[in-house]
Amino acid sequence: MKWIVLACVIGALAAGAVWQRNRIVTLLRGAKAEVEFRRFAADVGGTRLPEVRIAMADGVHLATDIYLPDGAEGTKLPAIMMRLPYGKRRFGEALHWIRRFTAEGYAVVVQDMRGRYASEGVFTPYADDPTDAAATLDWISAQGWSDGKVGTIGCSALGETQVMLATQRHPAHRAMIPLGAGGAIGRLGGTYSYFGAFEGGILDLASAFGWFSEAGGKTPDRMGLPQIDYAAGLASLPVRDAVARFRADPTEFRIMLDHYDDAAYWERSNFIAGDERFATPFLMVDGWYDRARESLMLAQQMRETGADGTVMILPALHCGLGWQLQEGRIGDLTLDPAQWIDMEALFLEVMDHHLRSGPAPDLPPVRYYMLGANEWRDAESWPPEGTAEQVVFLGAEGLSDAPTQPGDLSYTSDPANPVPSVGGNICCTGQPDLRMGPVFQNEIEGRDDLLVLSSQPLDTPLSIAGPAFADMSLTADVPDTDLILRLTDVDPQGNSLLITEGVLRLRYREGMDRSVLMTPGEPVRAEVILRDIAYKVPAGHRLRLHVASTSFPRLARNLNGGGDPYAETEPHKARITIHVGGETGSKLRIVTLPDG
């Protein structure tokens, strides 16, 4: 999902990696935007050619800027291309890469996506992006200053557009560096996460509302709006109308909610389904508390269908390129600053190799940061070689390594009083007070709508490297509700630190492509997949599992009525009973390495 834009960093772009720390940047408006851009253009070096309007196959013209480095006259150059929905002359990340790559002797091409800012057409993510991007590569290749080699770079939407382009296998697309681009996934791997807006069949409300209300309009001249009351918008019902309360121009928000179960709608939007083929060499970068699971899936799909490359997972939030490592902390988890990697230097190595025949960077198929151990590790695949599943059983007394006596654990979930979201994969909300990443969960653990199950202190360390799978047996007194599971690391002082989480709307327990309501009072089984993580739990610490049915505002509340979850307005309490113990009780399968 895409970052909301809040604070201007354009004037600070000369400070190298500043944008990494301030990835939330402003969509400058009006005269201020023009003044700031002129200041940037005067200092960038090289030459900005007059804006070009490149014709697409259907006659729509896309506004495009070209920057050439100093001394480029009469020289054919490799190019770096970025396509974005945030304004090619307004978005800090794009301006940063323009400066960085022109200084290295590259041409840089920046384009407003269809229906955005100066470009014609209608913005429908990502219905036209593969062909629009390929047509732009055709145009670049035909220019006198171009040597026909193009690399692409950028985070979030700027990364997702690269993935869409890569499905075209265009001969000019020689390298790609998509960052935080897991939102490109549709039904790949059974995730059905479309635009990064859904997880386990549940709307990622905080992210989707934040992005569409601030930056998701289909009217090009209304991209930036006055201050939005995020708290009121997120709490409003029905969910489908939340964005329309703040902007009258059309967006895709309600349309996609009305069509979540409509396969034909999503096929038209080109999100990665699993039958695409790839060829472009890649360096894919993500963070453990962003969309790492989706990026790992994308990288595997790319390698299996013909592309060579590396996926690199950092201890980072959305679009963070290492500032958490530099500061030695992400959320409440300590990191080792000595492990910091100059990612921008690595990006230049990758581009120089593929576009200029420079030396190849020494990169494995998978490079990941092991949280807790505070070290980088390399692997040939994901999960890494040598992993195995460790089974943990849920019981009346907590978590154990063997089945306990059969029993039941129950709680009542009230959508009108949801469990607050504390940390985790939260982004793009426009609410800076919402903490993100691995943070302590103690403040919610005393609630009576949340089961808290703990293990005994570990005799030896436990190295998690992959997803976890919760095989849940349960009964509910409503036709539909959600399961929200969190795995935490509890230290001897009782601090309960979030490791990872997983969610499922129970109507999708038989698959994300089919909606099957429950019969109240009848037991069902469901698998909840907790997001991939690499985390070493020390000896003497405890594992803890939360079981709940709400996490607000990160996830849209299930009102438990069994109707259209985004059209309902009347909340219903749900009584959920988790069946534990015996051979058929609920259990957790954790993918681990034997190096604990």
CATH number at residue 419: 2.60.120.260
Say whether pLDDT at 207 is over 90.
yes
Give me the phi and psi of 100, to 5 degrees please.
-65, -45
Looking at residue 9, its pLDDT comes to 33
Q: Are 576 and 549 in contact (CB under 8 A)?
A: yes
Say whether pLDDT at 243 is over 70.
yes
Distance, in Å, from the CA atom of 33 to the CA atom of 31, rounded to the nearest integer, reads 5
Looking at residue 121, its pLDDT comes to 96
Q: Which domain-ending residue is among 324, 357, 379?
A: 379
User: Do 133 and 93 lie in a common domain?
Assistant: yes
Whether 255 is in a domain gets the answer no
Whether 204 is in a domain gets the answer no
Whether 2 is in a domain gets the answer no
Tell me the sheet residues that pair with 91.
none
Looking at residue 220, its pLDDT comes to 75
Looking at residue 590, its pLDDT comes to 99
Whether 311 is in a domain gets the answer yes
Q: Are 410 and 449 in contact (CB under 8 A)?
A: no
Looking at residue 43, its pLDDT comes to 77
User: Do 427 and 574 lie in a common domain?
Assistant: yes
pLDDT mean over 254-262: 96
Distance, in Å, from the CA atom of 359 to the CA atom of 349, rounded to the nearest integer, reads 8
Tell me the sheet residues that pair with 55.
61
Structure tokens at 70: 């100093």
Distance, in Å, from the CA atom of 99 to the CA atom of 108, rounded to the nearest integer, reads 9
Contacts of residue 278, Cβ cutoff 8 Å, sequence gap at least 6: 166, 167, 169, 301, 302, 305, 306, 307
Distance, in Å, from the CA atom of 340 to the CA atom of 275, rounded to the nearest integer, reads 36
User: Do 357 and 430 lie in a common domain?
Assistant: no
User: Do 355 and 455 lie in a common domain?
Assistant: no
Structure tokens at 466: 């992959």
Say whether pLDDT at 31 is over 80.
no
Say whether pLDDT at 28 is over 70.
no
Structure tokens at 41: 């253009």
Confidence of residue 26 (pLDDT cuts 50, 70, 90): very low
Q: Are 499 and 488 in contact (CB under 8 A)?
A: yes
Distance, in Å, from the CA atom of 153 to the CA atom of 155, rounded to the nearest integer, reads 7
Say whether pLDDT at 500 is over 80.
yes
Closest by CA position to 135, among listed 234, 58, 42: 58
User: Do 443 and 394 lie in a common domain?
Assistant: yes
Confidence of residue 226 (pLDDT cuts 50, 70, 90): low
Contacts of residue 340, Cβ cutoff 8 Å, sequence gap at least 6: 322, 325, 326
Confidence of residue 222 (pLDDT cuts 50, 70, 90): low
Say whether pLDDT at 593 is over 70.
yes
Give the length of the chain.
596
Whether 107 is in a domain gets the answer yes
Say whether pLDDT at 12 is over 60.
no
Q: Are 466 and 591 in contact (CB under 8 A)?
A: yes
Q: Please compute Rg for the chain using Cα positions.
A: 24
Closest by CA position to 367, among listed 325, 314, 326: 314
Q: Are 453 and 394 in contact (CB under 8 A)?
A: yes
| Minimum mean pLDDT range among 206-215, 237-246, 283-292 | 206-215
Claim: this prediction has a pTM higher than 0.85? yes
User: Do 435 and 373 lie in a common domain?
Assistant: no
User: Do 479 and 338 lie in a common domain?
Assistant: no
Structure tokens at 571: 């909340």
3-state secondary structure of 3: coil
Tell me the sheet residues that pair with 276.
none
Q: Which domain-ending residue is among 316, 349, 379?
A: 379
Whether 276 is in a domain gets the answer yes
* Residue appearing with tokens 């509890």: 490
Looking at residue 221, its pLDDT comes to 62
Say whether pLDDT at 17 is over 60.
no
Residue 408: its H or E element? strand 407-413
Say whether pLDDT at 505 is over 60.
yes
User: Do 172 and 70 lie in a common domain?
Assistant: yes
Distance, in Å, from the CA atom of 29 to the CA atom of 125, rounded to the nearest integer, reads 23
Looking at residue 66, its pLDDT comes to 98
Count: domains in the chain: 2
User: Do 107 and 65 lie in a common domain?
Assistant: yes
Task: Please name the amino acid found at residue 386.
Answer: G
Looking at residue 42, its pLDDT comes to 72
User: In this structure, what CATH number is given to the domain that contains residue 57?
Assistant: 3.40.50.1820
User: CA end-to-end span of the chain, whole Å?
Assistant: 34
User: Do 404 and 488 lie in a common domain?
Assistant: yes
Whether 546 is in a domain gets the answer yes
Q: Which domain-ending residue is among 350, 379, 408?
A: 379
Using one digit for the tens of pLDDT, what is the confidence trace for 263-301? 999 999 999 999 999 999 999 999 999 999 999 999 999
Q: Other CB atoms closer than 10 Å to residue 357's CB: what's the count?
A: 9
Is the peptide bond preceding residue 226 cis, with omega within 30 degrees of 0?
no
User: Do 329 and 450 lie in a common domain?
Assistant: no
Range of the domain at 20: 10-194+269-379
Percent of the chain with pLDDT over 90: 85
User: Do 317 and 448 lie in a common domain?
Assistant: no
Sign of CA dihedral 547, 427, 290, 187: positive
Q: Which is more confident, 41 or 307?
A: 307
Say whether pLDDT at 59 is over 50.
yes
Using one digit for the tens of pLDDT, what is the confidence trace for 294-335? 999 999 999 999 999 999 999 999 998 888 999 999 999 999
Say whether pLDDT at 5 is over 60.
no
Whether 232 is in a domain gets the answer no
Confidence of residue 428 (pLDDT cuts 50, 70, 90): confident
Q: Buried (b) or exposed (e) across 521-550, using 16+ Cβ within 10 A?
A: eeeeebebbbbbbbbbbbeebbbbbbbbbb
Distance, in Å, from the CA atom of 210 to the CA atom of 27, rounded to the nearest integer, reads 14
Mark out the alpha helices in 276-384 (DSSP H runs).
Answer: 292-304, 323-327, 343-356
